[in-house]
Structure 1
Amino acid sequence: DLSLPGKLADCQERDPARSEVFIVEGDSAGGSAKQGRDRRFQAILPLRGKILNVEKSRFDKMMSSEEIRTLIAALGTGIGDKEYNIDRLRYQKVIIMTDADVDGAHIRTLLLTFFFRQMPELIEKGYLYIAQPPLYRVVDGKKEVYVKNEEAFNQFILDRIAQKETVSVDDTKEFSGKKLSSLVDNLIRYYENIARLSKKGYSARFIEFLVSCGAHDRSVFKDREFMDRIFSCLEEEGFKVGDIGVSEDGHGYYEFTVYETRNGGQSFNVDWGMFTSPELKRLMNVSRQLEPFRGARFRIDGEGEGKVITSWSELLELLMNKGKRGLTIQRYKGLGEMNPAQLWETTMDPEKRTLLKVRIEDVVEADEIFSILMGDKVEPRREFIHSNALEVEELDI
C-alpha cells in the first residue's frame, strides 16, 4: 500500500481481525518493539514527541500535525465526515504502548482524546487497548520477575519482609507475617502521601504535625476551637503562623500562612486546597491505623544487638533494605531500556501480556469529562478536580 507512512513497520497479515498495531512513543522504544515483535501479525508505529491536544485544536490545525496524519494513514480509516470509514480499519487491535511514567500517561491521555473525538467507534467496537509494560525487573538467584508498578513492587518486598522478619514493639508484642506486612504497608503509604504533599510546597514537618494532632476528618479545619488549638500547638513546635482568616470561596475552611523556622525556613500558604486534598485524606486514614505505634520502641530480630528504633522512617528504611537484600533490581525509566526479548516477553507476547481494553460505558459522561480535563476552560477543570479529587485514587482515564 503506497499510502502507508514510512515510519510504520507493518505486519504480514492482511486480515484486520488477526492483526494488531502498537502505537509506541519515541524511536528508541519503537526500535526495540520492531525487533521484538512477531512480524506475522504485529505492526509497530513509533510516534515522536507529544501528539497535539485535539481537544483544543481546530480540525485544519489538527490535520497539519505530522503525527496525527501518520496515525490516520497507518490505521487506514480516513478522518472527517466525508472520509472516515471504520470498515477500512487495518487492525482490530490498536494498542497504545507508552512509558510507565507521568509523560507516558500524558501521551496516552492525548491519544485517548484523539480516538474518543475522531474515531469513537474504535472504542465502541472494543478495538482500542492499553499495553501494560513493567516498571521493574527483579532477579532473585535464578528466578526473574517482572513487576508492573510501584505498588506491586512494594507488595513483592512486603511479602519477603513478612516471611523473614520479626519486629518487637515496646518489648511486649511481636509482629511478623501478615501483621508485620500490614504495619509496613501503612508506613509506606504514610510517607508516600507526605512526599506528595511536600512536592506541593508544604514542609514535611508541618504535614506530620497536622496529622498527629488528632485531625481525622477534614471538617475539623473549619472548626474555630480546633483551629485555635492547632495554631497554639504550631507556635509551641517552633512554627510561626500569620494571615489567619476563613476563606470565602473555600467552603468555610481556615486559611493561613506558615513560616517554618527550621529546615531552611520555608513559608507556605495553607487553605482549602490542602484540607480537601486526596493526599491529606489518605494520610489521615493511615495515621489513624498507625496511632497505636506513636512513640513506640521497635526492635528488629537479629538487627544490631537488639538496637532500639524510635523513628518510623528509620524502621521502614531498615525493613525495606532487609526485604531487598540479595535481589538485583532494575527500574525501567522507559520502554527503550528493555531489550527486544524483554519487551516481547513482558508486554507484547499474547500468551503472557496483560492488555487493558478501553471501554466507555457512558459515552456522554466520558465526553463531558474529556471536555473539562482536556479543554481550554480552566475554571470547570478546577471545579471538576476539586469535587472529584477525593474520590479518585489514581486518575487513569
Structure 2
Amino acid sequence: MPGKLADCQERDPALSELFIVEGDSAGGSAKQGRARKNQAILPLRGKILNVEKARFDKMLSSQEIRLLITALGAGVGKDDKDLSKLRYHTIILMCDADVDGAHIRTLLLTFFYRHYQEIIDAGHLFIAQPPLYRVKRGRAQQYLKDEPALEDYLIELGAGDLTLRGQGAPALSGTPLKQFVKKAMVLERVLDIFERKGRNRHVLTALARQPTMGAGALATEDHLREIITAAEAYLRAAAPETLPVSFSFEEDREHACVRLVASTRANGTAQRSVIDRELCLTPEFEELRRLARDLAAAGEPPFLLGESDAGEPVHNLPATVARIMAQARKGLEIQRYKGLGEMNPTQLWETTMSPESRTLLQVKIEDGYEADEIFSTLMGDEVEPRRKFIEANALNVRNLDI
C-alpha cells in the first residue's frame, strides 16, 4: 500500500470507506479523527495532474496519481483495470470548502470520469461537505457549509426584529423583510458583474427599476426620455453621489434603434456606461430588471429601518443590507476555515466524517454527452470555450476564480 495511506481494518469493500483528502495537514487531522475500523485516509499534496490534458504515460508518471491508483487497488487502463478488485465501495473526495478546494475537487472528478467512470456508475463516488464557517454566540455554536449558508444565518439573525419602511409602500418585517434582503444581496452581485465591465452600478439600478426598460425601450428617444426622468429622480434620492449624470443617444444602425449612453465621474475619473440592445438581451440584465422591480415594491428611498415605529433613515439598498448585517454580527464570533487542516480531529469527525452527522453528495452522470462536453470545456486546452462557459454560468455561482 502507498506510504501515505492510513488503511482501515475492514477488508470487506462494501463496508470500507476511502477519504481522499486535500493536503497533509488535513490528512493528519482526518487520520486522528477517523473511525479506524472502516475509514481509510489518503492525503494528496496540492493540485493533482489535469488528466484531461495529459497523455496516459505522463499521467502514470505523476506520483499523486500513482498513489491514488494503488490505493484503489483496481488497476487502470482498459487492459489492466479490474473493478472487482476495488478495495473501497465508498470513495469520498474531501477538499477544502474554498475556491482552491473546488479546483482540486474538479481535477479529481476529471480523473475519475476519464479513467474510472465505472466507479461513478456503480454509485461509489461521493463528495464531502465540510463547513466553511463556524459561528459562535455565547456558548452556542453552529457550523455553516458555505457563504450562502452564512448569509442566510446572518439575515435570519439580523432582520428578525426589524421593520423596513419605504416611501409609498407597506412596511416589511419577518419573512418578507428577509426575502427582501436576500434579493438585495443578489442584486449587488449582479451589479458587480456589470461594474467589472465598466458600467456604473447606480445608473443601471436606476434604469432597471423602470417597468418599461428593456430592448424595446431603445426603439425611440422619446420613450427613453421618460425612463431617464424617472431614473434621475431615483438617483437623487438613493445615490446623489452619482450626480450629475449626462444621458445621450447614439444611433444603432445594425438594429434600427438607439444606444443610451450615461456619462458620470467618480473620483475625478470619467465613466461611460453604454446601454444597448445587446446588453438588454443578456441574462444578467434580465435578472437585474427582475430583482430591481421586485425590490422597488418596498417603496422609494430613503427607508426607515428599526425596531420602533420610527426607525433610522437609510438612503439605499446597500446601506440597508449593511445595517442589517451589522446588527446580526453584534456579539457573534465568526471563524472562516482556510482549510480542513484548521479543524481539530474532533471537529472534522463531527462535521464531515461521522456517518451520523455528515452530509455527502453522490456523484452521478445523468447525461453522458453533456458531462463529456463540460469536462472538455472546463479542463481542456481551449481557452475561448471555457471563457464562454464561465460567462454563461456567472449567475449560478457565488465565488468565481478566473
Q: TM-score, normalised by structure 1?
A: 0.83
Counterpart in the other structure of 2:78: 81
CA 1:267–1:349 in structure 2 vs 1: closer, same or farther (change >3 Å)?
same
CA distance in structure 2 between the partners assigned to 1:146 and 1:163 by the alignment: 20
Q: Which runs of 5+ in 2 are unaligned?
A: 233-241
Q: Distance in 1 between matches of 2:181 and 2:111?
A: 42
CA distance in structure 2 between the partners assigned to 1:232 and 1:168 by the alignment:
26
- Equivalent residue in structure 1 for 2:143, among 130, 142, 146: 146
User: For residue 338 of structure 1, what is the amino acid of its counterpart?
Assistant: M
Cα distance per residue 1:224-268 (max 9 Å; x no partner): 6599759988999556799967698xx999889976521352657
**Residue 236 of structure 2: aligned partner:** none
How far does residue 291 in structure 1 lie from its aligned partner after superposition? 1.5
Cα contact 1:247–1:255 (8 A) shared by 2: no
Q: Is the 8 A contact 1:240 1:261 kept in 2?
A: no
| 1: CA distance, partners of 2:191 / 2:45 | 35
Change (3 A) 1:48 1:320: same
State the partner residue of 1:366.
Answer: 371
Matched, 1:21 2:8: no
Equivalent of 1:310 in 310, 315, 320: 315
Q: Tell me which of 1, 5, 9 is aligned to 1:8.
A: 5
Task: Give the deviation of 1:72 after TM superposition.
Answer: 0.8
Q: Which of 336, 341, 347 is residue 352 of structure 2 equivalent to?
A: 347
CA contact under 8 A between 2:90 and 2:125: conserved in structure 1?
Answer: yes
CA contact (8 A) 1:215 1:284 kept: no
Question: How has the CA–CA distance of structure 1 residues 256 and 311 changed in structure 2, closer, same or farther, with 3 Å as cutoff?
Answer: closer
Partner of 2:160: 163
Alignment of 1:46-65 (within 5 A): 46-65=43-62
The Cα shift of 1:108 comes to 1.1
Partner residue of 2:238?
none
Does the C-alpha gap of structure 1 residues 72 and 246 become closer, same or farther in structure 2, counting only changes over 3 Å?
Answer: farther
Q: CA 1:297 to 1:257, structure 2 compared with 1: closer, same or farther past 3 Å? A: closer
Q: State how far apart, in whole Å, the 2-side matches of 1:170 and 1:11 are.
A: 65
Question: What SS does structure 1 have at the residue aligned with 2:136?
Answer: strand
How far apart are the structure 2 equivalents of 1:134 and 1:224?
52
Paired residues, number: 389
Q: CA deviation at 1:223?
A: 4.7
Work out whether residues 9 and 45 of structure 1, in 8 Å CA contact, stay in contact via their aligned partners in 2.
Answer: yes
- The answer (yes or no) to whether the contact 2:9–2:38 under 8 Å persists in 1 is yes
Instruction: Report the 3-state secondary structure (helix = DSSP H, G, I; strand = E; otherwise coil) of the residue aligned with 2:126.
Output: strand
Instruction: Give the aligned partner of residue 265 of structure 1.
Output: 269
Cα distance in 2, alignment partners of residues 375 and 93 from structure 1: 28
8 Å CA contact 1:259, 1:265 repeated in 2: no
Aligned to 2:239: none
Identity %: 46
RMSD: 3.7
**1:295 alignment partner in structure 2:** 300
Per-residue CA deviations over 1:39-86 (Å, capped at 9, x if unaligned) read 221111111221222112211122222221111111111111111111
1:49 aligned partner, one-letter code: G
